[in-house]
């Protein structure tokens, strides 16, 4: 079984449409693929409808959160959520708020960029993002205009945190997000918890706290993404050990973004036992 539990489509900052994504997953030999766009479920229906026979599509999302960094200061954290009930009202409202934060923020960054990069048209940018706007949409526009040579160069330059064009957004407190996902019958998994290249790291002590949010564990954190391109061997080892100690689900995945990142579908995968545990733990939706 080849199982990839973290991918992005054009419903957020990937470049494949959901239909193209599931066809590519099938062509890559995957048996299971989760669609986990940032803060939106908008790609689910198209992905399910287009899924070739023999490919299971898991409905998921990657939620923008704020956790506690190793230095005690807030740090951005991505939290994967699987098989939750999309109709759960509190959770649906929070997703809508996050998307609003995203488009306000990308619009503001586009305005700031437009001063120095006249090829950037804030209205065009927002018209082209789809339901969940992100910095990769700005990066592509800068590349297409010839203002930077690559998406990576855009993230190293004008789009980096702390740049004069950078605007922050207000994400969901991580503990609150874990509770909301559990209340919607979903399973939460911390994404790329030790991706050093993205900046400061999440305090591992907070992962322990998230597991015990509800005595008995059912309402707490479900798992940790261990095998990911942004983890070095030592960091993956640390996370695998922690997951074992806390009896959490261990996942591995590609974080595929189409042409926006050099990652291949199935580049990292999840063991079938962990996948089955995730599916059986979820009560919001089935596969
Ligand atoms: P945002 O969610 O708007 O803050 O943008 C962050 C997103 O940009 C992440 O979800 C990644 O998909 C993407 N990203 C971050 N760094 C890079 C990079 N160096 N190259 C390509 N994409 C990146
Ligand atoms: Fe992304
Ligand atoms: Fe992420
Ligand atoms: Zn992702």
Residue 88 belongs to domain with CATH number: 3.20.20.140
From the CA of 192, how far away is ligand 3's center (Å)? 7
Number of the ligand closest to the Cα of 61: 4
> Same domain for 89 and 133?
no
> Same domain for 66 and 173?
yes
Closest Cα to atom 16, ligand 1: which residue?
A: 155
Closest Cα to atom 3, ligand 1: which residue?
A: 134
Task: Answer yes or no: is 264 within a domain.
Answer: yes
Q: Please identify, by atom number, the ligand 1 atom nearest to the C-alpha of residue 105.
A: 3
Q: Is the CB of 151 under 6 A from ligand 1?
A: yes
Task: Answer yes or no: is 58 within a domain.
Answer: yes
d(CA 260, CA 280): 33
Count, residues in the chain: 287
Q: Is the CB of 6 under 6 A from ligand 1?
A: no
Task: Answer yes or no: is 164 within a domain.
Answer: no
| pLDDT at res. 198 | 82
Q: Is the CB of 76 under 6 A from ligand 1?
A: no
Tally Cβ neighbours within 10 Å of residue 226.
30
Per-residue pLDDT tens, the chain, 287 aa: give them. 999 999 999 999 999 999 999 999 999 999 999 999 999 999 999 999 999 999 999 999 999 999 999 999 999 999 999 999 999 999 999 999 999 999 999 999 999 999 999 999 999 999 999 999 999 999 999 999 999 999 999 999 999 999 999 999 999 999 999 999 999 999 999 999 999 988 899 999 999 999 987 654 457 999 999 999 999 999 999 999 999 999 999 999 999 999 988 899 999 999 999 999 999 999 999 99
Coil, strand, or helix at residue 12?
A: coil
From the CA of 215, how far away is ligand 2's center (Å)? 33
> Same domain for 37 and 175?
yes
> Same domain for 190 and 269?
yes
- Dihedral pair phi/psi, residue 79, rounded to 5°: -120, 115
User: In the 8-state DSSP scheme, what is residue 164?
Assistant: T
> Same domain for 245 and 173?
yes
Task: Answer yes or no: is 218 within a domain.
Answer: yes
d(CA 21, CA 9): 7
| pLDDT at res. 214 | 63
Q: Is the CB of 135 under 6 A from ligand 1?
A: yes
DSSP state string for 227-284 = E-TT--HHHHHHHHHHHHHHT-EEEE---B-GGGSS--TTSS---HHHHHHHHHH--S
**Considering 131, 156, 181, which residue would you say is the last residue of a domain?**
156
Pairing of strands 56-68, 32-35: parallel
> Same domain for 7 and 124?
no
Closest CA relative to residue 77, chosen from 92, 90, 89, 67: 67
> Same domain for 49 and 187?
yes
Task: Answer yes or no: is 211 within a domain.
Answer: yes
Considering the entire predicted model, what is its pTM? 0.97
From the CA of 207, how far away is ligand 1's center (Å)? 23
Q: What is the CA radius of gyration of the chain?
A: 18
- Dihedral pair phi/psi, residue 242, rounded to 5°: -65, -45
Closest CA relative to residue 83, chosen from 241, 244, 265, 223: 223
Number of the ligand closest to the Cα of 108: 1
> Same domain for 189 and 272?
yes
Number of the ligand closest to the Cα of 255: 4
> Same domain for 183 and 270?
yes
Domain count, the chain: 2
Task: Answer yes or no: is 232 within a domain.
Answer: yes
Task: Answer yes or no: is 161 within a domain.
Answer: no
Domain span at residue 134 reads: 102-156
Tally Cβ neighbours within 10 Å of residue 170.
12
Query: Torsion angle of alpha carbons 256, 201, 142, 167, nearest 10°?
Result: 130
Task: Answer yes or no: is 274 within a domain.
Answer: yes
Q: Is the CB of 62 under 6 A from ligand 1?
A: no
> Same domain for 78 and 183?
yes
> Same domain for 93 and 113?
no
> Same domain for 79 and 208?
yes
């Amino acid at each position: 079984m080849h199982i990839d539990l973290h991918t992005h489509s054009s419903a957020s900052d990937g470049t494949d449409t959901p239909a193209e994504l599931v066809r590519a997953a099938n062509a890559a030999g995957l048996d299971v693929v989760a669609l986990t766009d940032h803060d939106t479920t908008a790609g689910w229906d198209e992905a399910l409808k287009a899924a070739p026979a023999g490919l299971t599509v898991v409905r998921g999302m990657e939620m923008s959160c704020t956790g506690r960094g190793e230095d005690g200061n807030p740090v951005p954290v991505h939290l994967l959520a699987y098989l939750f009930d999309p109709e759960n009202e509190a959770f649906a409202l929070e997703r809508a708020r996050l998307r609003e934060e995203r488009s306000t923020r990308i619009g503001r960054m586009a305005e700031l960029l437009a001063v120095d990069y006249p090829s950037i048209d804030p209205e065009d940018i927002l018209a082209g993002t789809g339901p969940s706007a992100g910095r990769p949409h700005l990066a592509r526009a800068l590349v297409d205009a010839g203002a930077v040579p690559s998406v990576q160069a855009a993230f190293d330059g004008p789009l980096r945190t702390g740049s004069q064009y950078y605007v922050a957004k207000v994400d969901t407190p991580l503990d609150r997000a874990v509770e909301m996902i559990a209340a919607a019958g979903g399973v939460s998994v911390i994404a790329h918890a030790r991706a050093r290249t993205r900046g400061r790291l999440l305090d591992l002590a907070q992962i322990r706290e998230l597991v015990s949010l509800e005595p008995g564990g059912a309402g707490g954190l479900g798992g940790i993404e261990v095998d990911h391109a942004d983890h070095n061997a030592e960091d993956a080892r640390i996370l695998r050990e922690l997951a074992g100690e806390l009896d959490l689900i261990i996942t591995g995945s590609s974080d595929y973004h189409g042409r926006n990142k050099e990652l291949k579908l199935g580049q990292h995968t999840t063991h079938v036992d962990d996948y089955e545990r995730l599916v059986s733990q979820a009560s919001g939706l089935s596969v």
